[in-house]
Amino acid sequence: DYTIGIAPTGGESIADFIAPLSGLGGESAVVFASGFLSGDDPAFGIFAALEDGTVIELPSYDPMSSVQVIHNSASPTVDVYVDGGLAIANFEYRMATGILDLPLEFTVGIAAAGSDEILASFPFVLEDGGEYVVVATGLLGNTVTPFDLAAAGTTFGAMEGNVGLNVYHGSTDAPSVDILADGDVLVSDLMYGEFS
């Protein structure tokens, strides 16, 4: 399986497509570009003609990342916007989303629930195929522990029979802490705003 990029000679890719070829072992296909890059009809695409005459359109490849969002700011219920579009409505304190597929570059805007007035904006640049958790933390209007979005990768793994665990210290008035598991120190000296 391949990602096929189309680029002007010597340039960067301007269009990427998914070519799922793993099921064609021992066979052949002719891949051809068709249509207009200008946007005229028919639009530009990449197609594959198989030995039996079947022609399939290769789907566009849109790089994405997986993100889970956790609301851990003791603030009012908020609406979350991604690049100006409402992504999460009525997001309450101590709620979490499921896994969201998001583009690699975007801006998150935070507004009070029911209002389109953005109170805070945060740009993100993520990696293709990356897995992340984003925690809303801190307090709106507080200069010591200001409102923020803390992000960390979640590509930590675990052997079978175990659990991968990432701890975030999100209590604004707590000192640095040790996390104990059955009396043994699992994470030591974790400060507010840090992931383990």
**Residue 141: per-residue pLDDT:** 85
Which whole-number Å values give the CA distances from 188 to 98, 158, 181, in the listed order?
29, 20, 11
Place of tokens 């079978």: 160
**Could you tell me the pLDDT band of residue 113, with boundaries at 50, 70 and 90?**
very high
> 49-73: per-residue pLDDT in tens?
999 999 999 999 888 899 999 999 9
Which whole-number Å values give the CA distances from 12 to 4, 46, 125, 189, in the listed order?
12, 17, 19, 46
Contacts by 73-77, CB closer than 8 A, 24 or more apart: 73/136, 73/137, 73/138, 73/139, 73/140, 73/147, 74/139, 74/172, 75/136, 75/139, 75/140, 75/147, 76/112, 76/113, 76/140, 77/112, 77/113
**Residue 46: per-residue pLDDT:** 93
> 71-83: per-residue pLDDT in tens?
999 878 999 999 9
Q: Are strands 2-6 and 15-19 parallel, antiparallel or unpaired?
A: antiparallel
| CA end-to-end distance (rounded Å), the chain | 36
**Residue 63: per-residue pLDDT:** 85
Record the pTM. Answer: 0.74
Provide the 10 A C-beta neighbour count for residue 170. 20
**Residue 176: per-residue pLDDT:** 97
Query: 133 and 124 in contact (C-beta within 8 Å)?
Result: no
> 127-175: per-residue pLDDT in tens?
988 999 999 999 988 899 999 999 998 866 678 888 888 899 999 999 9
